[in-house]
Amino acid sequence: MKLVLNEEQQFLKDTAKNFAEERTPINHFRNLRDTKDSLLWDKEIWDEMVKLGWAGILIPEEYGGSDFGITGMSVVLQECGKTLTPSPLLATAVLGVYAIKEFGTDEQKSKYLPLIANGEITTAVAFDESSHHDISQTELTAIKTGDNFILNGVKKLVVDGSSADILIVLSRTSGSKGEMAGLSLFILESDSDGITRTKLDMADSRNYANIELNDVTVSSNELLGSQELGGEAMDHILDIGRIALSAEMLGNCEAAFSTTIDYLKERKQFGVLIGTFQALQHRAAEMFCEIELTKSSVMAAMQGADENSNQLQVLASLAKSISGDTLHLVSNEAIQMHGGIGVTDEYDLGFFLKRARVTEQIFGSVNFHKERYANLSGF
């Protein structure tokens, strides 16, 4: 496995870098937060991303996409992570697309994938039911009645849950809480009768929602993948999401680190630049080394996904745990090295700290993935 980008992937990364710097600098994110935008992402910016083909990076060409792979999508998210670019890319172009592409019927693919590629709909995947990530704890029920299923239950902290047009919901068709067996996935319209969405005001100002389903009727045709095997499918979908999110977290790290290094070169104390203080140099060196290690783990996971590696679960957990640890370190150090101004709202670093604390938890915390990695590796 060569941990380098090919020419096409590098071009895509450069394009994303230019787009993020020119169209979605951090002031763009700040403005959406300050105006309490209902979507917390800009429809016009999303349309531009769609025109660039980003919504269809994982979609096969026959459905209007480019099928450019997880690496292609991840490098875009990495660059967007540097400016905290708000968009439905993660929930729609990664989780939603991958779920439908890999587990949907031909009819479902033909119905939904072209609409996503054209930017006509967005999606959200609802799987957790508490602040602690563990899909085996699913209690949302799907009771079969004739040719339909009746869904009842609550999903929490759903990324883009308040704005998505389509919901992919993990439910329990048999078995008990704590079991991976007996889980099934359903795809349904977000405005279906019985669905209540509650938008959450989170620290990182991203689009999240709690979703309650009360006697929601879903046709058997809307079953995504095989009945009773949704747990395995969901875990695979999440691994792709974990890799993509790790790339975004890497971008967060790089931006916070770069901002901090610039400050060390400008700020004077006792008449000298604080960047000349050996203690701060050591701390900066540690951040640099951890970021480089994170790049390697994220790159290995990206390429492992594109190569259908049988170590995908291991690589995904490795990338998510290392990126979580590194982002925690860098976001903390960036704030501390800036001193008191680091925690003021006029400085952008606080946004990275807040984003870090949330992304460290979603799709599984650092401790969750360390334990998963150990179990998968036979420790």
Burial profile 203-220: b = 16 or more Cβ within 10 angstroms, e = fewer:
ebbbbbbbbbbeebebee
Q: What element of type H or E holds 303?
A: helix 278-306
Q: What element of type H or E holds 99?
A: helix 97-103
Residue 260 in any domain: the answer is yes
244 and 329 assigned to the same domain: yes
83 and 129 assigned to the same domain: no
192 and 162 assigned to the same domain: yes
pLDDT at site 343: 85
Residue 43 in any domain: the answer is yes
pLDDT at site 161: 97
Q: What does the angle CA 49 – CA 318 – CA 243 come to, to the nearest 5 degrees?
A: 15
* Domain range enclosing 61: 7-122
How many domains, the chain? 3
The helix/strand/coil state of 50 is helix
82 and 176 assigned to the same domain: no
Number of other residues whose CB lies within 10 A of the CB of residue 260: 24
Identity of the residue numbered 120? E
Distance separating alpha carbons of residues 18 and 31, to the nearest angstrom: 20
The helix/strand/coil state of 54 is helix
DSSP 91-139: IIIIIIHHHHHHH--HHHHHHHHHHHHTTS--EEEE--SSSS--GGG--
Here the CATH number for the domain that contains residue 103 is: 1.10.540.10
pLDDT at site 1: 63
Residue 2 in any domain: the answer is no
Low-confidence ranges of the chain (pLDDT < 70): 1
Q: Phi and psi at residue 139, in whole multiples of 5°?
A: -120, -15
Domain limit, last residue, from 229, 260, 294: 229
152 and 282 assigned to the same domain: no
Domain limit, last residue, from 75, 101, 122: 122
210 and 245 assigned to the same domain: no
Domain limit, last residue, from 122, 156, 181: 122
Here the CATH number for the domain that contains residue 313 is: 1.20.140.10
238 and 335 assigned to the same domain: yes
Here the CATH number for the domain that contains residue 180 is: 2.40.110.10
Contact assessment for residue 130 and residue 61, using Cβ atoms and an 8 Å cutoff: no
Contact assessment for residue 245 and residue 365, using Cβ atoms and an 8 Å cutoff: no
Separation in Å, CA 217 to CA 145, 192, 214, 282, 293 = 9, 8, 9, 59, 48
Q: What element of type H or E holds 328?
A: helix 312-338
Distance separating alpha carbons of residues 292 and 275, to the nearest angstrom: 21
Residue 242 in any domain: the answer is yes
Residue 206 in any domain: the answer is yes
182 and 171 assigned to the same domain: yes
Reported residue count of the chain is 379
DSSP 223-278: EES-TTBHHHHHHHHHHHHHHHHHHHHHHHHHHHHHHHHHHHTT-EETTEEGGG-H
